Structure 1
Amino acid sequence: MVAGKTVCLRRLSRGDRALEVRFNRFLGHDKVTAERIIESWGDSTVAAVEGRHVLAIQDTSEIHFNTTPQRRRGLGEIGKGNNHGVLLHPLLAVDADDGSCLGLLSGQVWTRQGRRTTTHDARDLSDKESQRWISTAIAAKPLLTAAGTVTVLGDRESDIFALYASSAEQHFHVIARSMHDRKLADRTGLYEATDAMPVVDRRAIQLPARAARPARQAHLELRFGAIELARPQSKFLRHLPKSLPLAVVDVCEINAGPGAEPLHWRLITSHEIATVDDAWRIVEWYKQRWIIEQFFRVLKTQGLKLEDSQIGTADRLLKLVAIAAKAAVITIQLLQARDGGQQPIRVAFNDNEINALAALNRQLEARSKRLKNPHPPDSLTWAAWIIGRLGGWDGYPSSKPPGPITFKNGLEYFLAVAAGWSLRDMCMP
């Protein structure tokens, strides 16, 4: 999928009908489950997180598959009920210091089974889709034992009191963007309290592009302070503490340009905020959330075009989504490596593939004695240099760096070579 930039089984098979049948048999096998595929996501991520401050970034995306009333493919409703598809909730590990994508950790993929008749407020958290914010973070915890620090980070949907309480129990930090004007322990409102805090600094930050929003520089005012968040008055939350000591960082854009919606983030966090630098650090960490948006774009519109898949059943589509998620992360890691990221090579390649890369590197360097791979051989950047060369890039620093198509061509060639390399010691009778 990474090499072909597609999840279409027919295209991946390149006209080989037998191979297409084998792909379909794999997806249809009872012992191949989406849950087990998701469990394997973190196999290569565990070593990459060691000793780092890891931002465990999670979000949910709706994946729309075309259906008709006569052919729903077993898919439930998404959006406002006018489309059918699958929901994907992954958790990405990102280095807090340099923003490098370390890999997938945990997640969920599902399709809805009918509409719920019980109202949202009348259901326990375990009976709501929002429980995924907590269960996904807890599932990732065993994979993060070697990390120096873990901060679970999410957008407005992750503004859940039970998640803040869980972070204290599980010994990880949390940063969530406020969705609700919550009550504090003194019965005042969160927004009233933050608006009353003094402006302590002003700074400009660069905002990456989003859907319907070009990249721009935003001039922000900063407020921050300690808060005591009160437990919501729900009978399902009475087992949780009556209040939680947290902090809030409020950044509000001033003088936004015409037609631009001013940025306003109220970030609730379990990190202690004692200085202005501490508060800006929370803002910088939250900015890293854009990586998961890039992940979804690679998965759908700008890369693998997952939503174009014509697989006929929901069960197989769920497995395909879980596999494609891993392919999307590898693509992001290679693009980051091209730009000088310092991810370890094993986040994307196994030992056999690394040995094949080393042999190819020696061959490429021998062709031009003045042109050497300048990167350490245990880095993904080293591998990206080789794959870029295999795809047609000349390797000179003055040349335009390899793009996605060059990486695609290089990966196609490399995977064929790696398959042959794995057979090099076999003795045929």
Structure 2
Amino acid sequence: MTAISVVFDHKLGDARLEKRANRILHQMIKSGSGVPNRLNTHHRERMGMSRFLNNNRLSMDALVNSITQSWYTEEYADRDLYVIQDTTDYNAIGHKGRLSESDEDLGPLWKDDTNQEFGFFLHPGLVLDGDSGFPLGYTHLHIWNRCVDQPNRHERNYKRQPIEQKSSYRWLESIDYSTQVLKGHRGKVVHVMDREGDIYELFAKPMPPNHHLVIRTSKQRVIYDESDSKHLLWQYLEEQATKGLVIEVAIPRQKKRKARKAKMALSYGRVEIARPKDRTKAQGPDRIPLYFVQLKELEHSVPDGEAPVHWTIWTDMVIENEHQALKIVDIYQNRWNIEELFSLLKTKGLECESAQVESGIAMKRLVIMAMQAALHLLQLLKDRDHVYQEKATLLIDTQDLTFVELLIPIYEGQTQKQKNPHPPESLARLAWLIGRMGGYSGYKSQSPPGPKTMRWGWRRFQEQLSAWRIVNQIKLD
């Protein structure tokens, strides 16, 4: 068992549950799968996993706390940290015959009655090192589902509901959990969110002085500029874009967008957002001061058939020059890490939505544990180029480094360009090998290995590592 699979020791209140939890996590990481039937070849192991996931004594809070409390050490106390929030769903429609729609741990995924998909939602707080961007752990893993008979937004008078009664409260709640996990942290903590985090109550929320916000805008708002003139946000931003500096920004690839160097107009400034009319004074002050950064792609930079990139980002951190503005953009771009994490949890990695389990609560427990396995796969994927200079022992035992060095010459080519360029015992050296075992050519001129390539390489590596361990054990015996 590797060092990374002792996350649950002394955390679940039952030594047998802890032993089983560590074993399941070890199997997930080793196999690169979150599907129980692929983790276990023996019937007894599969039944043991099923009993574990359906055990009423297994607290969801204890599982989550085991993971969120497993990574932080004094080593990180003075570093800047980015906590990336976002939401994904688990769609159980493919298991409609196995999982009951009346299961209290499952609910509709859509807010209307026209779509019959059901399942639950997951909202993590993924922590990155502020200097390197390397993923470290989680501050929270919030998992929940809608009720089947939940009244619609109109029936609940949703806009008038207190924020604590809305599903959007998860964005504020995650900050509370982050504050608890990072209590005593001396460095800066920046909470990074996409458009759904553009919530007035969140901006009004008291936070420790070293905690800050970077949130993409989504709502039209009444604002006041520095001369106290009143504006509507979208119109004001349009005017500011015409005054912006032109810079070049690397745009990452998405489903409907190619990766490219985009010419963009940069503008920034300080404004005060007004309290919305449907909020009371008890929900926040009349005005909240914020800084904005706007990046708007120039027309001639947009490829045919694509929409121009347009980002506007709120922050409470002071922006007085171009350097500070671009730093906020850089912080926000770290948000893509959580998209990669979700893909590793699902189709490009552990394939958790293919897992066949007996109940909604079992599926939730499985997904929580799979999030820890997905984190380790993300760490492997991110340090392919030795940017973060992490050690291979983050993912494998020290004694397995010998096997890594035995394998590398087999996958190296004749030329220098096809040699493993990374230092011994580094995570990047292991990642290069995993990529080659998954089908990567090894040439830097080609695209680096992606999640699927790394997943297949990781599985092959673990299979061969297991065989090597058996052979060595036979020799010892």
Question: How far apart, in 2, do the equivalents of 1:204 and 1:276 lie?
Answer: 13
* Conserved? CA contact 2:346–2:352, under 8 Å: yes
1:147-201 deviations in Å (ceiling 9; x for gaps): 6211101110000122222264564110111111112255422223323335231
Question: Residue 246 of structure 2 corresponds to which residue in structure 1?
Answer: 202
Deviations 1:190-229 (A, max 9, x none): 2233233352311121211223323233221011100112
Instruction: State the distance in 2 between where 1:124 and 1:140 align.
Output: 22
Partner of 2:461: 410
Aligned-pair CA distance for 1:340: 1.7
Distance change (3 Å), C-alpha of 1:372 and 1:193: closer
Indicate the SS of the match to 2:143. strand
Instruction: Quote the Cα distance in structure 1 between the aligned partners of 2:409 and 2:297.
Output: 54
Structure 2 CA distance for partners of 1:262 and 1:392, relative to 1, 3 Å: closer
Q: 2:166 maps to which residue?
A: 128
Change in 2 beyond 3 A, CA 1:206/1:399: closer
Q: Distance in 2 between matches of 1:254 and 1:149?
A: 34
2:144 — aligned with what? 110
State yes or no: 1:28 paired with 2:59. no
Judging changes above 3 Å, is the alpha-carbon distance between structure 1 residues 372 and 181 closer, same or farther for their aligned structure 2 residues? Answer: closer
Match of residue 270 from structure 2: 226
Amino acid at match of 1:174: L
Q: How does 1:45-124 map to 2 (within 5 A)?
A: 45-47=71-73, 49-66=76-93, 67-68=95-96, 71-72=100-101, 74=103, 75-81=106-112, 82=115, 83-114=117-148, 115-116=150-151, 117-124=155-162
CA 1:51–1:415 in structure 2 vs 1: closer, same or farther (change >3 Å)?
farther
Cα distance between partner residues in 2 of 1:395 and 1:357: 24
How big is the shift at 1:271? Answer: 1.1
- Tell me whether 223-232 or 60-69 shows the greater mean CA deviation: 60-69
Tell me what 2:316 maps to.
Answer: 270
For normalisation by structure 2, the TM-score amounts to 0.77
Equivalence map 1:205-284=2 (5 Å): 205-235=249-279, 238-255=282-299, 256-284=302-330
Give the structure 2 partner of residue 13 of structure 1: 40
- State the percentage of identical aligned residues: 27
Out of 26, 32, 38, the residue aligned to residue 64 of structure 2 is 38
Distance 1:7 1:203, change over 3 A: same
* Contact 2:343-2:349 within 8 A present in 1 as well: yes
- Contact 2:201-2:283 at 8 Å conserved across structures: no
Q: Secondary structure at the match of 2:72?
A: helix
**Paired residue total:** 418
Does the C-alpha gap of structure 1 residues 373 and 207 become closer, same or farther in structure 2, counting only changes over 3 Å?
A: closer
> Which residue in the other structure is 2:341 paired with?
295
Q: Distance in 2 between matches of 1:101 and 1:266?
A: 25
1:192 aligns with 2:235: yes
1:427 aligned residue: none
Other-structure match for 1:380: 427
- Once the 2 structures are TM-superposed, how far is the Cα of residue 421 of structure 1 from its aligned partner? 11
Q: What CA distance in whole angstroms lies between the structure 1 residues aligned with 2:472 and 2:432?
A: 19
Residue from 213, 216, 229 that aligns with 1:174 = 213
TM-score (norm 1): 0.85
Kindly provide the CA deviation profile for residues 273-300 of structure 1, in whole angstroms up to 9, marking residues without a partner as x. 0101111121122112111111111111
Name the aligned partner's letter for residue 261 of structure 1.
A
Gaps of 5+ in 2: 1-27, 411-418
Structure 1: segments with no counterpart, 5+ residues: 423-429
Matches within 5 A, 1:336-351: 336-342=382-388, 344-345=390-391, 348-349=394-395
Q: Report how far residue 383 of structure 1 moved.
A: 5.2
